[in-house]
Amino acid sequence: MTRNLLAAFVIFLAVSCLVRAQEGMWLPFMLHENIEDMREKGFMLGADDVYHTERPSLKDAVIRIGGCTGVVVSEEGLVLTNHHCAYRAIQSHSTVESDYLGDGFWAMSREEELPNPGLTATLLVRMEDVTERVLSHLNDDMTDDERRRVIRRVSGEIEGEAVEGTRYRASVDSYYYGNEFYLSVYDVFEDVRLVGAPPSSIGKFGGDEDNWMWPRHTGDFTFFRIYAGEDNEPASHDPGNKPYNPPVHATVASESPKEGDFTMVYGFPGSTNQYLTSHAVRIIKEIRNPHNIELRTRRLEAMESAMRESRKVTIQYAAKQSGVSNAWKRWQGENRGLARLDAVERKLELEREFIEWVSDSPERQSRYGDLMTRFEELYSEMEYLTMPYDYMREGLLAVEILGFAGQFADLADMYRPDLEEEMLERIRERIEASKESFFRDYHEPIDRDIFTEMIYMYRENVDTAFHPGFFREIEIDFDGDIEAYTTYVFNNSVFTCEEELSYMTDNISGKINETIAVDPLYRIFSDAREVYAAVLPRYMEINTELNGLYRFYVEGLREMKESELFYPDANRTLRVSYGNVRGYYPRDAVFYSHYTTLGGVIEKNASGAEDYETPAKLIQLYEEGDFYPYSTDGKVRVCFIASNHTTGGNSGSPVFNAYGELIGLNFDRVWEGTMSDIMFDPDQCRNISVDMSYVKFITDRFAGAGYLLDELTIAE
């Protein structure tokens, strides 16, 4: 069958099967169970082409890079991932004079490629089912603590055996809440260099306005390169290292995807919670998300106000603001989706079915009969602790300067007037290193505003039983005036002033605790830590017991619905999700097409909104209209959506077509589908990817770095 006939057959299958989204993030070595469903959706390869340990397969081109995913696209270790995944790396190399965030960065030779200390590229070597070995050491009479200790011990033994005599690293991970265990063996490369990144006006086009939204026009991509030492093996950064030569690299598709085309996302998704009970979903929907949204709203307002006034502050806070905004907007979409799906009631329906199934058998009653009652008891207690827990993490401890002061907690506990000079010198070096790192990207007015707002909100919303000790000082010494208290704290703390901190460092003595322990910011941190330490143990105990209950609940669900395939929740291990290119209806009478074009960039730019600012050169390229060979029907495709199940960590994941060719890089989900971490909706859940046609167009025509495209293997 010719390729054109194959393509026509794929389209026929897609239409005739009324293509729907495929829920699930599947372990790649399990794809033999899914391969028929994948083929019904148009897949033309076999399961062994996706994952194999004895010959090259697509898995060998997929890497974990930072907290994201990437894909190797050349035989010289060239890697593609998202611009937002590279944001901190780009920022770390940026200054006002060399603003790589604002202007972009393109290395025009290997010598210009920039090292990134601490950034690694991790490749999966193999996975192995070790469930039987782990479970053979466990029994239901064990306490949760005993069970965890045994799992850690046995897992450590398995990991050690797996990598003995090799350079590899290993991890045994739990799946289905501890019902199954799989070993993953990894190869980790430590020399990863920045090669090319578009300006943020392309790589982050749309900013917060478009984050989690569709239609999208974001060129969210960045090039890195993996370097290796002798024998093509991992090595720490060294000028003598050579580009890594992978066993396989992704072939890039020559055309943009069409409606109905098969898509496969291959990456390292972070975490999902598909099996939560109704109790948990209600707490998320009615308590956690609304309060955390409001906390982050206040933080974002403080950041954005200062960023509008200064380019320096914009550079300092670009990554911070993006990080705060990301979850803030996602939680809003998640709550909307959970409400639209009536998620709590749907969970209750499943639980009622489960209870009825359990009641039909004395054996099931013995094993599962008390589950729902205990879930109710534990979540009721957790609800009470949720407010102080979240307001501490998302509120007080989100104040940057408090976290900085907290870095010196162990020094504050130190009192030895006879400390040797060698120890004092190490303390000096540590303080200097922390100070330099912190103040490089710190703007005090922002933190003052956030500090004030977080204390206001904590006081208003958290039970007084969980108010830190300094609240009493505010009431007594400052007559409840939080703004006056803020002024006092920031004006009298050594931690807000680099010069005073340097003076303390230069004059350090064995009585360092006397300097730190009385500092107002440190005392606030200490008081907050005391409350957090009172809440956290019980909060974690509840979570531990809940995980134990979920182990039985998921076990029971799989037994109750034994004919169904259950995918394990994401846990940062390599997964495959698959579906099809497909538009959707976000609301009544509104339909979104599956792709966007460069023309949409120009239209948004015409609105004058700051998030839609477009480089003059890109506008010029559009007006000239010379898009070949990167166009489809005379237009450059920018982004597309498909029905793959994705989550955080999937950012940068390669999106492959039916032939295993790279068609895009996953970077987001549509806002209407952000509840997919908890409940998947095939009609609304869509992943967003940047089209490889746009990647090539920007790299060549805009950046003038077409030499990078010469490294790629382009499908004919």
pLDDT, residue 635, reads 97
pLDDT, residue 15, reads 36
651 is annotated as an active-site residue:
yes
d(CA 277, CA 273): 10
At 606-624, the pLDDT tens digits run: 999 999 999 999 999 999 9
Three-state SS for 515-570 is: HHHCCHHHHHHHHHHHHHHHHHHHHHHHHHHHHHHHHHHHHHHHHHCCCCCCCCCC
Residues in the chain: 716
DSSP 167: S
Average pLDDT, the chain: 92
pLDDT, residue 401, reads 94
The domain spans of the chain are: 3-120+190-268+574-714, 278-556
pLDDT, residue 411, reads 62
State the helix-helix crossing angle for 289-307 and 311-341, rounded to 10 degrees.
160
Lowest mean pLDDT among 250-264, 397-411, 567-581: 397-411
At 140-167, the pLDDT tens digits run: 899 988 999 999 999 999 999 999 999 9
At 17-51, the pLDDT tens digits run: 333 447 999 999 999 999 999 999 999 999 999 99
32 is annotated as an active-site residue:
no
pLDDT at 682 over 80: yes
pLDDT, residue 514, reads 65
Bridge partners for 592 per DSSP = 584
pLDDT, residue 203, reads 98
588 is annotated as an active-site residue:
no
pLDDT, residue 9, reads 37
Provide the pairing of β-strand 687-691 with 637-642. antiparallel
At 493-506, the pLDDT tens digits run: 988 988 877 776 66
Alpha carbon distances (Å) from 629 to 26, 552, 625:
35, 56, 12
Residue pair 220/203 in contact (Cβ under 8 Å)? The answer is: yes
Which among 60, 220, 447, 569 is annotated as catalytic? 220
Which among 57, 60, 84, 191 is annotated as catalytic? 84
Torsional sign, CA 135, 139, 140, 144: negative
SS3 category, 81: strand
| pLDDT range class, residue 13, cuts 50, 70, 90 | very low
d(CA 637, CA 600): 10
At 391-447, the pLDDT tens digits run: 999 999 999 999 988 887 766 555 455 556 666 667 677 777 777 888 889 999 999
Residue pair 268/573 in contact (Cβ under 8 Å)? The answer is: yes
Share of the chain above pLDDT 90, in %: 85
DSSP 253: P
d(CA 314, CA 319): 9
Looking at per-residue confidence, does 549 or 19 come out higher? 549
pLDDT, residue 19, reads 37
Q: What's the one-letter identity of residue 439?
A: F
Which among 74, 278, 577, 651 is annotated as catalytic? 651
Q: Burial letters for 148-167: b for 16+ Cβ neighbours within 10 Å, e otherwise?
A: eeebeebbeebbeebeeeee
Q: Which of 118-127, 495-504, 507-516 has the highest mean pLDDT?
A: 118-127
Triad 668, 25, 17: Cα angle to 5°: 90
Average pLDDT over residues 331-340: 96
pLDDT, residue 512, reads 56
Lowest mean pLDDT among 127-141, 160-174, 251-265, 433-447: 433-447
The domain made up of 3-120+190-268+574-714 has a fold known as: Thrombin, subunit H (2.40.10)
d(CA 500, CA 478): 25
What count of Cα atoms within 13 Å lies in the side-chain half-sphere of residue 325? 18
Q: Tell me the whole-structure pTM to 2 decimals.
A: 0.87
d(CA 404, CA 439): 10
Please give the full DSSP string across 499-518, using - where no structure is assigned.
HHHHHHHHT--TTHHHHHHT
